[in-house]
């Protein structure tokens, strides 16, 4: 539902993309695909969604949001 709403929001704002980069992670790719399909926001249908392995989520479990200062 959030991906669909993001697509609607992008469409309503009239945003158009020259390029799209997404993480290799499945959920990120699915979210991107849903949002792009709804928004129709690519400047050209020939623009490929590029998977970039440098973009990645990391889960740190109970340590999320903490740093060495917050011990």
pLDDT in tens, 45-62: 899 999 999 988 777 778
- Whether 5 and 39 have beta carbons less than 8 Å apart is answered as no
pLDDT at 70 over 70: no
If you average pLDDT over residues 21-37, what whole number do you get?
Answer: 95
What is the chain written as a DSSP string?
Answer: -HHHHHHHHHHHHT--BS-EEE-SSHHHHHHHHHHHHHH--BSSTTPPEEE-TT------GGGTT--GGG-
pLDDT, mean of residues 61-70:
71
Q: How far apart are CA 20 and CA 32, in angstroms?
A: 9
């Amino acid at each position: 539902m959030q991906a669909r709403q993001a697509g609607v929001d992008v469409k309503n704002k009239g945003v158009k993309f020259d390029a799209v980069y997404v993480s290799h992670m499945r959920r990120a790719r699915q979210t991107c695909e849903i949002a792009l399909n709804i928004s129709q926001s690519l400047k050209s249908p020939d623009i490929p969604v590029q998977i970039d392995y440098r973009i990645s989520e990391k889960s740190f479990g109970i340590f999320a949001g903490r740093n060495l200062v917050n011990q």
